[in-house]
Amino acid sequence: ELEAASSPTRYPTIVVEEDDIEVVPLRFDLVNVPEAGLSLSALKAEMTTILKRVLVRLSERVDVIRITKVEETVRAKYSARGLREVERRQEGEGLRDVTMFFDVHVVRVDGMRFGPIIVQEIQDSYSEITRDIRSYSDENLLGSDLTLNLCTSR
């Protein structure tokens, strides 16, 4: 005897196996970050927002790319928040360098490597990302010569 099938869920979800995900690592080095007056967690949140905005625009242009998650990650030797203060500090100026790591999770498509596409988009958007992070710095009265370095591998 057959059982009656349960009714479909109102909000269906798509389950993606972990093997079906390509993870693209990104590293951003922020140089000349003021020691005082800056919440590193707020800076991280702002950087995440900027990165998501760039990647949403990419996914609108490239039909096959499906980004499932953008998350800040922790690398070995780095703090629990994925932030690392580089040893180099400018003496007497109250500035430091901060490194942030992000993983971009993308649904795999046979024959496609999304890493190079994402890295190229980030590189192409470098001036926009830099402008936005500097604007954030200025809005928070940090007033430093904040510089952004992008470190990725294709």
Contact of 154 with 119, CB cutoff 8 Å: yes
Whole-angstrom distance, CA of residue 123 vs CA of residue 136? 20
- Rounded to two decimals, the pTM is 0.71
**Local confidence pLDDT in tens for the 154 residues of the chain:** 545 555 555 554 554 555 799 999 998 888 777 777 677 888 888 899 999 999 999 999 998 999 999 998 876 554 444 444 444 454 556 777 788 899 999 999 988 889 999 999 999 998 899 888 888 877 765 555 666 666 655 4
Contact of 100 with 44, CB cutoff 8 Å: yes
